[in-house]
Chain A
């Protein structure tokens, strides 16, 4: 099953290639509407705010946000994650608009600022990870 779902550039998913290429370079890609200017995630081919299909990718090395909620997983439905349990995952509300699911560093605290970056997982899918925001 996972082998069928991992290749994001196959079939009708070719439009996602820029997000995969960005994640391969550690960059996070967020969909941005050329008409209304709003950002959304997960990426779509239609803007959920105005239905336009002229959508760009905003690619950056990190996105700032606030961690809204977290969970510590003690159970996984996939063997490959079981060795990594307990595993911390969070919901992060990005400053640029959308809410994303991300792996979160143990030092991230709900309600506090985090920085989110991207990478490719073992199956070639872009995944996001959050660390606490640096204080300047």
Chain B
């Protein structure tokens, strides 16, 4: 840690601010609806699940790639919402944790009573190509002209380098993918629920070597959402809820590394565990951002479950199914449920909430009291820029 970092005072805790009402608008491969439909159905789902009136939702965070040219602001007019707190959270795979921590501070400070956090996207034949072709100026002008491989291509570089420097094999990645598919089997909302063998994983066709088909998430349409409010309000509404023990976020970490071998979690994880007053060994289950398996490995390392470079060995000596030694991506993750754009950044968080209120989409992690959710967002040029994590617990 730098001198300035170590001088920081610990962040204030979240007191009695809680997270509740996880909602998923079921994912579909393609849709004729616009992004506003998915976001609007998520908002309606929050109201239906919680019994809170639309007028009582006085805070809103919105995450979407395909809402453009509309924005969080124009979306309020679209759905007839009149919030006094509004945030657009554009951090992709890190947007769930980041939306939650923004919302929690707004509630804590009294800027809003109830914040609806929603993320969603549509998908059609051309939306994915349009998104990746114009993802950013760096991506558009300095990566896309080199074969238009999209995120597969950028993650292939990181995977190739990680395999050669850290000794990871395709079978190590495959073990994570097979376990996630196993976790998806009882989840009725997963797009892919049929069992997958390691042999099938290894035999899948190359897309951007060393990335093969079953390393890739399926782009799809859908939305996820949750509410943030005071504990006493949730109790009055009779809503089961979870506590926020601690959160971190970081952007553009280690920018002088010639190639990404670590994410921002490493910079902030001491604070994450210290503020939650727990150790990595106290965590009952972990939801990582699983686009792609190598990134789950960087999260195991960055969040202190194993040393830097130690994830291949960690994967070999653990099992990652719901009943395994390290329950991981317990709904099946994006690899099984699909990647509904920005909702992919919410998927792990809503699953963690569900595990801790005993309403998982699929199977329950036995005796789970504390869960860790991690996010990784916005692969830009040569690396992912956003990292975030949160530790959640039963009341």
Beyond A69-B157, A71-B157, whether A127 also contacts B146 by CB under 8 A is: yes
- Looking at B49-57, B129-137, B281-289, the stretch in contact with chain A turns out to be B129-137
Query: How many positions in chain A have a CB within 8 Å of any CB in the partner chain?
Result: 36
Given contacts A71-B156, A74-B206, A99-B382, contact A127 B161 (CB under 8 A): no
Interface centre among A100, A101, A111 (most CB of B within 10 A): A101
Could you tell me if A1 and B209 are in contact, using CB atoms closer than 8 angstroms? Answer: no
The reply on A125 being an interface residue by CB < 8 A is: yes
Is A68 in contact with B161, judged by CB distance below 8 angstroms? yes
Of the candidates B128, B141, B145, B156, the one having the most CB atoms from chain A within 10 angstroms of its own CB is B145
Interface status of B28 (Cβ within 8 A of chain A)? no
Distance in angstroms between the alpha carbons of A70 and B157 in the assembled complex? 6
Tell me, yes or no, whether A3 is within 8 Å of chain B by CB. no
Does B69 make an interface contact (CB < 8 A)?
no
Apart from A74-B207, A76-B148, A125-B145, list 17 A-B contacts with CB within 8 A. Answer: A1-B130, A1-B133, A5-B133, A48-B255, A69-B160, A72-B209, A73-B153, A74-B209, A77-B132, A77-B150, A78-B129, A84-B147, A101-B146, A101-B382, A102-B146, A121-B145, A125-B141
* In the complex with contacts A71-B209, A102-B146, A42-B141 CB distance below 8 A: yes
A93 within 8 A of B: yes
Residues of A within 8 A of B141 (CB): 5, 8, 42, 125
**Chain A 40-54 against B: per-residue CB contact (8 Å), 1 yes, 0 no?**
011000001000000
Contact yes or no, A42 B150, CB < 8 A: no
Across the interface, do B208 and A5 meet the contact criterion of CB distance under 8 Å?
no
Answer whether residue A87 sits at the interface, using C-beta atoms and an 8 A cutoff.
Answer: yes
Q: Which parts of A75-129 form the interface with B (CB within 8 Å)?
A: 75-78, 81, 84, 87, 89-91, 93, 99-103, 110-111, 121, 123, 125, 127
